[in-house]
Amino acid sequence: MTASVLISLPDALARLQAEPELFVVHDRNAAWVVSSLMESLPVRASLALETSEEAKTMETVLALERQLLEADATRGALLLAVGGGITTDLVGFTAAIYKRGVRYANIPTTLLAMVDAALGGKTGVNLDGYKNMLGAFRMPEFTCLCPETLRTLPEREFKAGLAEMLKTFLLADGSLYAEAVRFFTAAQRDRDPMAKSAQNAPGLQKFIEAAAGIKARIVAEDPQEHGERAKLNLGHTFGHAIEHEARRQGADLTHGEAVAMGIILAAELSERQGVAQKGLAAQLKADFTAVGLPTESPYPVADLLEALRKDKKAAAGGKVKFVLLRAPGDVVLQELPYDCHLHTK
C-alpha cells in the first residue's frame, strides 16, 4: 500500500495481537466484522455503538469514556474503531481526550470511511445539530483497508463513498479517474454495482488503495489544513449547501449524493470562469450517470447561493473559496464572490 498509515488486514491483526490493552468500539451493523475477522485478538472489552448523526455527540463520547474508566483502561490503551465515519470520528475523539490522549486505530467498514473519514486525523462530534463542531486533530496509529468488510454495506452507502473516491481522483489523477469510471461503469452494467464479484474485487481493492493513498499523502503534506488539503473540498462548497437545503426541506439525501451534485456545479462554475474548457461538466455528468451517481441538484442554484451567503464560515467577507477544475486531475483554489455562479465571464 502506498502510505505507511495504510495497512492490510493481516498486518493489522499482527500489530493488534501484541496490544496489552485493546478496546474495540464497533458499529452494531459491523459486529460481524469483529466476530468473524478478529476473533483471535486479545480484546479487553468490546463496546457496541448505535450510530446516527443524532448520536454523534459528546454524550456518546462521555459514555465511552466512562466505559473505558470502568474497564480500568490506562494511558497504554489502544482503541480500535470498526465501522463507518461516524464510528471512526467518535472513537478518534474519545481517544484524543481520554486521560489526555491514548492511541487509536481504524478498521473502516464503509467505502466512505476507507477513502476519506478514517484518514487524516480529523475527529469529532456534532453539537446542537451543527456538524463536527467539537473535535481534535489526532492521527490514527493505522487505518486498515479491508474491502471484504463492505460485503453487507447497503448499495446507497457504497455509492456515497464512490462519489468521494471519484472526487479524490478528479483532484489528483486524471487517468485514474478515467480508469475508475470505466471500471465502475462496467460493474454497474454487469449488475455488480458494488464490484463484489470475484472478478471485480481486485479492481475495487486497487481503487480503494489508490484513493486512500492520495488522501493520506495530501494530509501528510498539510495536516492542519493550511493549503493543499483544501483541495479535498472539491464539490463540497455546493455539496454542503445542497445538504443544508435537503435538511431544511426534510429530504433524504446522503453526503455523497450531495457531493456528486456539488462536483457538477463546481465544473459548471469552472467553465463559466474560463478555468475549464467547455464540455467538462457535460463529460462529468455522463460519467457520474454511468456509474449510478446523481448529477442534478434538486434545488435552484440561487437558493444554494443564498444558503452560502448565510453561511458565515463559507462566505467570509462575501467571498467563498471554491475548488475549481481545470480538467480531471487538475484543480485550482479560487476565492470568488458567493454569487459568482449567477454571472458569466
Ligand X SMILES: NC(=O)c1ccc[n+]([C@@H]2O[C@H](COP(=O)([O-])OP(=O)(O)OC[C@H]3O[C@@H](n4cnc5c(N)ncnc54)[C@H](O)[C@@H]3O)[C@@H](O)[C@H]2O)c1
Residues that are catalytic: 100, 122, 164, 215, 225, 229, 233, 236, 240, 255
263-302 positions binding ligand X, by CB under 6 A? none
Q: Which is nearer to ligand X, 113 or 265 (CB)?
A: 113
168 belongs to the binding site for ligand X (CB under 6 A): no
What lies within 8 Å, CB to CB, of 23 at 6+ separation is: 43, 44, 45, 46, 47, 68, 71, 73, 77, 78, 79, 80
Whose CA is closest to 108, among 237, 211, 247?
211
113 belongs to the binding site for ligand X (CB under 6 A): yes
103 belongs to the binding site for ligand X (CB under 6 A): no
Within 10 Å of residue 155's Cβ, how many Cβ atoms?
Answer: 10
Stretch that binds ligand X, among 149-157, 196-204, 259-267, 294-302 (CB under 6 A): 149-157
| b/e map 231-268, b = 16+ CB within 10 Å | bbbbbbbbbbbbbbbbeeeeeebbbbbbbbbbbbbbbb
Find the binder of ligand X among 132, 185, 205, 289 (CB under 6 A).
Answer: 132
Sheet of 143-144, strand order: 6-7, 143-144, 103-108, 78-83, 22-27, 43-49
Size of the site for ligand X (CB under 6 A): 28
Residue type, 33: V
Stretch that binds ligand X, among 80-88, 203-211, 237-245, 266-274 (CB under 6 A): 80-88
Do residues 212 and 145 make contact, with C-beta atoms less than 8 angstroms apart? Answer: yes
117 belongs to the binding site for ligand X (CB under 6 A): yes
What minimum distance in Å lies between the beta carbon of 90 and ligand X?
Answer: 9
What minimum distance in Å lies between the beta carbon of 64 and ligand X?
Answer: 15
Stretch that binds ligand X, among 15-23, 105-113, 314-322, 331-339 (CB under 6 A): 105-113
159 belongs to the binding site for ligand X (CB under 6 A): no
57 belongs to the binding site for ligand X (CB under 6 A): no
What lies within 8 Å, CB to CB, of 105 at 6+ separation is: 12, 15, 16, 78, 79, 80, 81, 140, 141, 142, 143, 144
Stretch that binds ligand X, among 151-159, 191-199, 318-326, 330-338 (CB under 6 A): 151-159
Do residues 130 and 311 make contact, with C-beta atoms less than 8 angstroms apart? Answer: no
The residue number with the shortest CB distance to ligand X is 85
Find the binder of ligand X among 157, 173, 257, 268 (CB under 6 A).
Answer: 157
DSSP string computed for 33-77? HHHHHSTTS-EEEEEEE---STT-BHHHHHHHHHHHHHTT--TT-
13-32 positions binding ligand X, by CB under 6 A? 27, 29-30
What minimum distance in Å lies between the beta carbon of 280 and ligand X?
Answer: 25
Compute the residue count for the chain: 345
Find the binder of ligand X among 19, 21, 116, 209 (CB under 6 A).
Answer: 116
Q: Which is nearer to ligand X, 89 or 268 (CB)?
A: 89
Q: Cell 435552484 maps to which residue?
A: 300
What minimum distance in Å lies between the beta carbon of 108 and ligand X?
Answer: 7
Find the binder of ligand X among 152, 175, 197, 249 (CB under 6 A).
Answer: 152
What lies within 8 Å, CB to CB, of 124 at 6+ separation is: 89, 92, 93, 132, 133, 134, 135, 136
Cα gap 194→140, rounded to integer Å: 27
Q: Which is nearer to ligand X, 115 or 269 (CB)?
A: 115
Stretch that binds ligand X, among 3-11, 115-123, 172-180, 238-246 (CB under 6 A): 115-123
* Contact residues: ligand X, CB under 6 A: 27, 29-30, 51, 53, 56, 83-87, 89, 109-110, 112-113, 116-117, 120, 122, 131-132, 149-150, 152-153, 157, 160
